A and B are shown apart, each in its own frame.
Chain A
Amino acid sequence: MSLLTPDLGLLFWMLFSFGVVFFVLAKFGFPIILKMVEERKAFIDKSLEAATQANERLAGIQQEGERILKHAREEEIRILKEAEEIRNKIVEEAKGQAGIEAGKLIEEAKNAIRKEKEMALRDLRNQMAVLSIGIAEKILRRNLDNQSAQRELVNRLIEEAQKN
């Protein structure tokens, strides 16, 4: 049957057309496309790698930023603390100084008061002495008129002196 016997003419034309197709496509068609697809694949891989690296670097930068921020915050806290300490110290110092000053002033005032008091006492004593002497003179002048009374007084004074 003719279906199963290859026809010579068609064999020839098939050989011819497939040969041409094979030659053209295998030489100029598919290798270009395959090469391009391969290159594109390499390019995509490279791009992905670059993107990953960039991401990593970005993450690094972010981390660095966070680190710096944290550091700055710590520094801030430290400085604030220090400032407070200094303030407290200054206040303390000022308080101390003021206390001392006040003490001094009080001391001085006390001294002055004491001196005044002493002076006043001395004054008082002097006046008392003068007054007493005056009074005593007056009393003595009157009492020493009689003999017996004089003796009694002298004795008492001696007694007192002895007691002391």
Chain B
Amino acid sequence: MKIRIKYTVLCLFLFAGMSMAAQEIPVETEHHSEPKKDLNVTELILDHVGDAYDWHIATVDGHSISIPLPVIVRGSDGVWRCFLSSRFEHGHADYKGFSIAHEGKYKGKIVEKNVSGEEVRPLDLSLTKNAFSLIMGSTILIILIMSCAAWYKKRKVEEASPKGFIAMIEMLIMSIVDDVVKPCIGKNYKRYAPYLLTVFFFIFFNNLLGIIPIFPGGANVTGNIAVTCVLAVFTFIVVNSFGTKEYWKEIFWPDVPTWLKVPVPIMPAIEVVGMFTKPFALMIRLFANILAGHAIVLGLTCVIFITVGLGAAMNVGMSVLSVVMTIFIDFVELLVAFIQAYVFTLLSAVFIGLSQVEAHGNKQLHK
């Protein structure tokens, strides 16, 4: 058991190391292939943390090696079209009137030209890099958890307790339930435990996938605002759809001097805004943390290529520093992957707990 844990940790370390190594490769090749010597770090980082229509793996001798992903768009003519992103030839070609914008506010997105020649966005449900990573991650996550559940289903209580991987998952599940869900929500915790556990594992698993730099991982999924937005909306719905009477009373008629409520409802307005700022904070926190992590790792890796022009000694020195720092940051990112998933779950649980308040009179009765 102990040995297995050691191996798991070792594997994670290896991933961290590989993250650094693999992020170097495309940068280096791009650097050689492009005619201009300067490396636009900002663009490179934004490109890597952003979404894409194909899954770029490496560029060798000026040829991009990437996995094409399906593009699903509905143009202004109202017809759905589905084709592989390799039709765009990495943004250099048009296909049936669609092309990838190189500049403007739709930079990097699929656009089509309308009658007046302006670029407009079609309805775009393409399986982009992030979407593809999401679906893949979700599938793996479902398989993992369901295989654990199957283990439990096959056995009786008296037979055996799980070992190895299933025990680890159980430990994670129980630590979330016992340390987060139960104390935050209270007596109704069983109704919310599955949602909060799903949120935790979804974020944690996608965070970890994001740290792996090569193909199955590396997409900046949880650092994408659309993803965190959906998660926050789910939490918002769960918090507000089962709120107690007292919860709604505290929002619209809180225990404050009457002049704060009528004629101008200052307090209710503040409370209503509060309803929305809570999930909004969740959304921004997760998005910013993961995005920043990816950006730092990429930035540190770029140090190697920026210092090429400063002479061999300087470049070697900075490269060593860069590698050391990147490894360190990757370790931190492992920690962040867990902490952010934990914090999102914890805060969701706290908000749900706040929506489960009982009337103060009742509380005093209980005491």
**Complex CA–CA separation, A17 to B158 (angstroms):** 36
Specify which chain B residues have a CB less than 8 angstroms from the CB of A40 in the assembled complex. Answer: 157, 161
**Complex CA–CA separation, A25 to B148 (angstroms):** 11
- Majority-rule SS of A interface residues: helix
Q: Does the CB pair B49–A26 fall under 8 Å? A: no
- Majority-rule SS of B interface residues: helix
Interface string of B30-64 (1 = CB under 8 A from A): 00000000000000001001110000000000000
Q: Which of B161, B174, B177, B197 contacts A25 (CB 8 A)?
A: B197
**Complex CA–CA separation, A36 to B128 (angstroms):** 39
| CB nearest neighbor in B for A11 | B226
Q: Does the CB pair A17–B126 fall under 8 Å? A: no
**Complex CA–CA separation, A31 to B141 (angstroms):** 16
Question: Contacts A2-B109, A10-B131 hold; do A18 and B202 have CB atoms under 8 A apart?
Answer: yes
Q: Does the CB pair B194–A10 fall under 8 Å? A: no
**Complex CA–CA separation, A162 to B206 (angstroms):** 164
Asked if B272 is an interface residue, CB under 8 A from chain A, the answer is no
**Complex CA–CA separation, A36 to B50 (angstroms):** 42
Q: Smallest distance from the beta carbon of A2 to chain B beta carbons, Å?
A: 7
The interface size of chain A toward B, counting residues with CB under 8 Å, comes to: 35
Within 8 A of B (CB), among A1-49: 2-15, 17-18, 20-22, 24-34, 36-37, 39-40, 43
Specify which chain B residues have a CB less than 8 angstroms from the CB of A21 in the assembled complex. Answer: 138, 141-142, 198, 202
Q: Smallest distance from the beta carbon of A142 to chain B beta carbons, Å?
A: 143
Within 8 A of A (CB), among B139-156: 141-142, 145-146, 148-149, 152-153
Spot the interface stretch: B16-24, B228-236, B263-271, B322-330. B228-236
Q: Which of A5, A15, A22, A36 contacts B152 (CB 8 A)?
A: A36
Question: Contacts A43-B157, A43-B158 hold; do A14 and B197 have CB atoms under 8 A apart?
Answer: no
Q: Does the CB pair A28–B146 fall under 8 Å? A: yes
Within 8 A of B (CB), among A81-135: none
Within 8 A of A (CB), among B160-190: 161, 169-170, 173-174, 177, 190
Asked if B13 is an interface residue, CB under 8 A from chain A, the answer is no
Asked if B225 is an interface residue, CB under 8 A from chain A, the answer is yes
Question: Contacts A9-B128, A29-B146, A29-B149 hold; do A17 and B134 have CB atoms under 8 A apart?
Answer: yes
| CB nearest neighbor in B for A17 | B138
Specify which chain A residues have a CB less than 8 angstroms from the CB of B46 in the assembled complex. Answer: 3
Q: Does the CB pair B149–A28 fall under 8 Å? A: yes
Asked if B209 is an interface residue, CB under 8 A from chain A, the answer is no
Q: Which of B141, B174, B194, B227 contacts A14 (CB 8 A)?
A: B227
Most interface-central of B109, B137, B138, B174 (chain A CB within 10 A): B138
Asked if B345 is an interface residue, CB under 8 A from chain A, the answer is no
A residues with a Cβ closer than 8 A to B are 2-15, 17-18, 20-22, 24-34, 36-37, 39-40, 43
Name the 10 nearest CB pairs between A and B, nearest first.
A26-B194, A13-B131, A6-B226, A10-B226, A17-B138, A36-B152, A29-B145, A14-B230, A30-B194, A32-B149
